[in-house]
């Protein structure tokens, strides 16, 4: 659907910090480029009804990625090398005693 100047659409207003009605102020390739909030009358780029991530969430993601980059991948298990060298011995399973 092509938008027209003055059409009312929903978008996230950064100033109001909520999803509100907006009027289309400018168009680019038939889609809304800039909108004006009908509650606080502030102009901003059309955000496709997406709220920007909070600074707290961005900080958490940054710290998480820093921790992951500091962790080395686990080394290859020595059992894998032993499997290629020769036959495996049968391992005893823990559990109840065999009754005779």
DSSP 79: H
The predicted model scores a pTM of: 0.55
pLDDT of 34 > 60? The answer is yes
Q: How confident is the model at residue 54 (pLDDT cuts 50, 70, 90)?
A: confident
Q: Which domain holds residue 39?
A: 8-45
13: left (phi over 0), alpha (psi -120 to 50) or beta: beta
17: left (phi over 0), alpha (psi -120 to 50) or beta: left
Residue 84 included in any domain: no
Residue 70 included in any domain: no
Residue 86 included in any domain: no
Tally of domains within the chain: 1
Residue 38 included in any domain: yes
Residue 51 included in any domain: no
Q: Average of pLDDT values for 85-98?
A: 60
């Amino acid at each position: 659907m092509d938008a027209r100047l003055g059409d009312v659409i929903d978008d996230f207003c950064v100033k109001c910090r909520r999803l509100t009605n907006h009027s289309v102020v400018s168009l680019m390739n038939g889609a809304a480029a800039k909108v004006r909030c009908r509650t606080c009358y502030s102009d901003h780029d059309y955000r496709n009804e997406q709220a920007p991530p909070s600074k707290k969430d961005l900080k958490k993601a940054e710290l998480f990625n820093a921790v992951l980059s500091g962790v080395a991948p686990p080394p290859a298990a020595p059992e894998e090398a032993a499997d290629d060298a020769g036959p495996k011995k049968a391992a005893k399973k823990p559990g109840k005693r065999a009754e005779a």
